[in-house]
Amino acid sequence: MTHLPTIVPVPVLQGLRPRCSEANCKVVSNTPVNGEYRLLVLEAPEAILDCQPGQFFQLLCPAPEGEHPFLRRPMSIYGYDKAAGRLEFLYKVTGAGTRGLATLAPGDGFNVLGPLGQGFSMQDDWQNLMLVARGVGLATLAPLARMAQEKGRKLTAICSARRPDLAMSVDLFESYGAEVIIVHDEDGSSAPEALRPLIEARIAETGVDAFYTCGSSRLLRLLQDIGARHGIPGEIAMEQQMACGLGMCQACVRNFRVGDRIIQRRVCREGPVFPISEAI
């Protein structure tokens, strides 16, 4: 195995994560998974693989020709394996940073900072779980599916996409024992008015103890409404533009509703995972 440089610890505030680290990794592969997304697999040191589902890394993207990404890019963890020394990211090429990611080839070095943020939780009485997400938001929830399997929980994953062939992580979720339901825009099955009776039927038939989602505002509003009616809690991984990723720059502050108050929290620091009921 290639020798990797010494890890540089980055201190964080007491009471959150004990530390994160900056490390140089090595690219194992960087391949398309469908017409829109690519999977980046890195050989990573053990010190940065003490991760939780829902956390993210700040990636130092290479500069594509003629472009100059100024800041690191935050990206949620798609997969991590401490024993194998592997770290994975699923991404869509949309801007200068991800265009730079797409130029990485096997053997290239790649600098990452993390893991960052607060990940998902899974309370003991949350036995029947429902995951509802769309597009690359499903990447954030992939490690959660593995955690559900490890804890012996029952998981239903509703995977939404523009077309059936763009549904993400279906095989991976199934490998973790999840029942996967694919919905998409072409037949209208992904619309909130179609998802509502589907979710309500599952609640009536088998029960749902908790919801998990990521990114989509319309899915958040749907799960908030259903959750409030049935008393079902849940968590959401919020998507937000970030600069430092460490909580210092305040660029990712969002409003949250806690009781009858509106408060501000940093998505990178107090999140990116928050209670569904508090997200706005």
Binding residues for [2Fe-2S] cluster: 244, 249, 252, 268
133: three-class secondary structure by DSSP: strand
| Positive/negative CA dihedral, 30, 32, 36, 38 | negative
Residue 150 phi, psi dihedral angles, 5° rounding:
-65, -30
Residue 174 phi, psi dihedral angles, 5° rounding:
-65, -35
Residue linked to tokens 């096997």: 106
Which residues are part of a known binding site for FAD?
73-76, 97-98
Written as six digits, the tokens of 226 are 């259903």
DSSP assignment of 6-23, as one string?
PPEEEE--TTS-SEEEEE
135: three-class secondary structure by DSSP: coil
Which residues are part of a known binding site?
73-76, 97-98, 244, 249, 252, 268
Beta carbons of 154 and 227 less than 8 angstroms apart: no
Residue 99 phi, psi dihedral angles, 5° rounding:
-65, -35
| 246: nearest Cα among 140, 139, 143, 115 | 115
Residue linked to tokens 């549904």: 167
Q: One-letter amino acid identity for 261?
A: R
**Measured CA distances, 96 to 67, 103, 140, 257 (Å):** 6, 11, 21, 34
Phi-psi region of 98 (alpha: psi -120 to 50; beta: other; left: phi over 0): alpha
Written as six digits, the tokens of 181 are 């339901």
